[in-house]
Amino acid sequence: MCIRDRPSACYVIRMETPDQPLQLDGRALATRIRDDYAPRVAALRESGRRPRLVALRVGEDAATKAYLRGQQRGAEKWGIEYDIQTLPASTNERGIRKAIRALNADPEVTGIMLALPLPAGIGARALQREIDPHKDVEGVHPENLGGCLYGRYGLLPCTALAVMALLESSGIELQGKQAVVVGHSEIVGKPVALLLLAQDATTTVCHKFTGNLAEHTRTADVLVVAVGKAGLITADMVKPGAYVVDVGINAVTGDDGKHKIVGDTDYDGVAPVCAAITPVPGGVGPVTVAILMRNTVLATEGMPPLDDPGQLPLFTA
């Protein structure tokens, strides 16, 4: 699809010159998702089934604290109750399991998220499996992760669904496109790859051991990068006219000596080459928070795991 043909529902900022790419505005899309779901939140509250999300964290990691505060602000805007439950850093796996079971059993809690990282030596997988899949609003329980295989948009990993929402908002038709996902984590890269496959994109997944990364990325009509390495993707690695979704979050020191957050792509170099691109910050991040809240709404409504709330379009135009 030509950029100029895009439907009016695209959540984009047109940059100053017409030859510049479309910037996929995550903040605007997040607001749109919230507006879409607002009547459902109101209906739940009126019926007495209040959405309530509890974030369980272990220890006092500063970055986690800041991350959860961002979610808390998001929840406030949605009218969703959000509590942070902090366990001492010395809590062992049994103790965390006990806390998760208590949240599973609490009828007032409709969504649970287990904040990572966990203290050294405690694996996340077994604990994620302990979360009631009906309350697993991060989509990390195997029962919900399985939804990616079916291409269903239930309680799926929030960032993966955010990537799909941003692509949908760009107006690109994924069927038959060459998609390349860089990074194959269980929570981002792999779920995104499965969801792109489910939309009939021909999908390649690259990772640390991929021999010639650029050889693959240059074929991509849709390039999703989720690694956590600033500057990994440069302009020469991007096919002209590609749609680029940058999931990475990296704290770097700018030329002015100030700390700033950047993605995995060299934005200034890549933007002029591609058709559309997500900024960092302001791209995938805000949409991920919106999806977490959307998942909490679905969980509160009692949607069974693997139920299918609808294929694309994911959100109303």
Task: Check residue 285 for interaction with ligand NAP (CB under 6 A).
Answer: yes
278 binds ligand NAP (CB under 6 A): no
214 Cβ contact list (under 8 Å, min separation 6): 236, 237
Residue type, 100: I
Render 77-140 in DSSP notation, one character per residue: HHT-EEEEEEE-TT--HHHHHHHHHHHHH-TT--EEEE-SPPPTT--HHHHHHHS-TTTBTT--
Contact with ligand NAP (CB under 6 A) among 9, 15, 213, 261: 213
Query: Under rule CB under 6 A, how many of the chain's residues touch ligand NAP?
Result: 24
Binding region for ligand NAP (CB under 6 A) out of 52-60, 64-72, 100-108, 177-185: 177-185
What letters, b where the CB count within 10 A reaches 16 and e where it falls short, cover 182-199?
Answer: bbbbebbbbbbbbbbbbb
Is 111 among the residues that bind ligand NAP (CB under 6 A)? no
Q: Which stretch binds ligand NAP (CB under 6 A): 4-12, 208-216, 253-261, 295-303?
A: 208-216
- CB of 252 vs ligand NAP, minimal distance in Å: 12
Write down the least CB distance from residue 64 to ligand NAP, Å. Answer: 12
Asked whether position 161 contacts ligand NAP by CB under 6 A, the answer is no
Q: Does 184 bind ligand NAP (CB under 6 A)?
A: yes
212-217 long-range Cβ contacts below 8 angstroms, 24+ apart: 213/182, 213/237, 216/180, 217/180, 217/182
Out of 207, 235, 269, 272, the residue judged to bind ligand NAP by CB under 6 A: 207
Binding mask 230-269 for ligand NAP (x = CB under 6 A): -----------------xxxx-------------------
Quick count: other Cβ atoms within 10 Å of Cβ 73?
A: 11
SS3 label, residue 314: coil
Q: Where along the sequence are the contacts to ligand NAP (CB under 6 A)?
A: 159, 182-185, 187-189, 206-208, 210, 213, 226-229, 247-250, 284-285, 288
